Structure 1
Amino acid sequence: MLKDSSAGYGLISIVIHWLSALLILFLFGLGIYMTGLGYYDDWYHKGPALHISLGLIVLLLMLARVTWRLLSHTPVALGDKPAQLMAARLVKWGLYLAIFVVLISGYLITTAEGKPASLFDWIYFPALAELSADQVDLAGELHEYLAWGIIALVVLHVAGALVHHFVVRDRTLVRMLKPVKK
């Protein structure tokens, strides 16, 4: 029930998936909200610390997810149409790539001046490099545009899951909601 099998996902994969999804959507909303704040708004100073801490949690979850995927069985893809399977793979790998680039760019922005990134003032992630103003601007643009790209890919991902559930009527969505029993 904890581990994945060829028939479906286990509890570990399901929890990591949904926790990551909720945090990513919250971070996107918080990021959008923060861009509209003025200097004297209370959240102008509180929001970034929360955004950074939750972003670091997503980074740790994504590293755990990739490690778990490498050590665990991969459930067999449902469906028999090659174009559909390829689209699903492209969306999945696009999500992974975009999420990691957004996380890394956020980390680089946070640590650009050589100061560590703080996870709720409990754990500090050291700065690996100092960035120039132009590099910070580039990282900021990547962070913003790819965050919107993640949302677009999430919409495709959700649409695919709903099509599988309501049109194709297979277990694709159910496998990510309910752990497989062995």
Structure 2
Amino acid sequence: MLKDAAAGYGLLTIILHWVSALLIFFLFGLGIYMTGLDYYSEWYHKGPALHVSLGLILLLLMIVRIIWRMVNKNPTALPNHSRTTLLLAKLVKYLLYGLVFIVIASGYLITTAEGKPASLFDVIHFPVITQLGADNVDRAGLIHELLAWAIVIVAALHALAALVHHFVIRDRTLVRMLKPIKKLPVADEQASSGNP
């Protein structure tokens, strides 16, 4: 089933979640790798271009995720999830979303600092909105680096919590983000969507 329902997540939510996660970790690894390159390295120019393009894809994915969440109801909480657990899960989700958008924004400001648009594989160009001076580019670079580390740490804790739910608590928290719900019987589907 493509859409989410009370019983669990649909295929699109699961795909958006895992593609975003893979992109984030790949971008982080690529960013770390690029810091060790010298001018004569083949990836000195290729790396940043790929980093920017994938960062812009992540931006578009995050926008789609937010719109998709707005038009889909969240699945019902599992019976063993306390209010504290649900609150922490919500806080982590909002923290990750906020950090990702700030890192993307700082990356965009660094990329466009010389007056050139940010390019998505030379197909779509994101125009320059504002140009930063040298000092502010350095600040944006520091924010970009520190918050990228924060994303990876929070995401690792998020993954650890999912593993604890799966192997220690033994509930369906992780499974719901791995297996899309199956097509519901018509009566159940109408009930989950609120239709009579």
Q: TM-score, normalised by structure 2?
A: 0.90
Counterpart CA distance in 2 for 1:100 and 1:173 is 25
Question: Shift in Å at residue 96 of structure 1?
Answer: 0.6
- Corresponding position of 2:187: none
- Work out whether 1:130 is the aligned partner of 2:124: no
- Corresponding position of 1:162: 163
Larger Rg: 2
Q: Which runs of 5+ in 1 are unaligned?
A: none
Question: Shift in Å at residue 175 of structure 1?
Answer: 0.7
Question: Shift in Å at residue 82 of structure 1?
Answer: 2.7
- Corresponding position of 1:29: 29
Mapped contact 1:91–1:156 kept (Cα < 8 A): no
Counterpart CA distance in 2 for 1:115 and 1:89 is 37
Question: Shift in Å at residue 76 of structure 1?
Answer: 2.1
Counterpart CA distance in 2 for 1:145 and 1:88 is 23
Q: Deviations over 1:78-130 (max 9, x none)?
A: 33323322222221111111111001111111111221111001111111111
Q: CA RMSD in A?
A: 1.0
The alignment covers a number of residue pairs equal to: 182
Counterpart CA distance in 1 for 2:158 and 2:81 is 18
Higher alpha-carbon deviation: 53-62 or 132-141 = 132-141
Counterpart CA distance in 2 for 1:21 and 1:12 is 14
Counterpart CA distance in 2 for 1:69 and 1:86 is 17
Q: Which amino acid aligns with 2:181?
A: V
Mapped contact 1:164–1:172 kept (Cα < 8 A): yes
Q: Deviations over 1:20-73 (max 9, x none)?
A: 111110000000000011111111111000000000000000000001001111
- Work out whether 1:148 is the aligned partner of 2:142: no
- Corresponding position of 1:109: 110
Counterpart CA distance in 2 for 1:112 and 1:70 is 34
Q: Displaced runs of 4+ in structure 1, greater than 4 A?
A: none
Question: Shift in Å at residue 77 of structure 1?
Answer: 2.8
Q: What secondary structure, in the 3-state scheme, does the structure 2 residue paired with 1:21 have?
A: helix
Sort the Cα spacing of 1:49 and 1:132 in 2 relative to 1 into closer, same or farther, 3 A.
same
Q: Which runs of 5+ in 2 are unaligned?
A: 185-196
Q: What secondary structure, in the 3-state scheme, does the structure 2 residue paired with 1:48 have?
A: helix
Percent identity between the two aligned chains: 65
Map 1:78-97 to 2 at 5 A.
Answer: 78=78, 79-97=80-98
Counterpart CA distance in 2 for 1:116 and 1:176 is 36
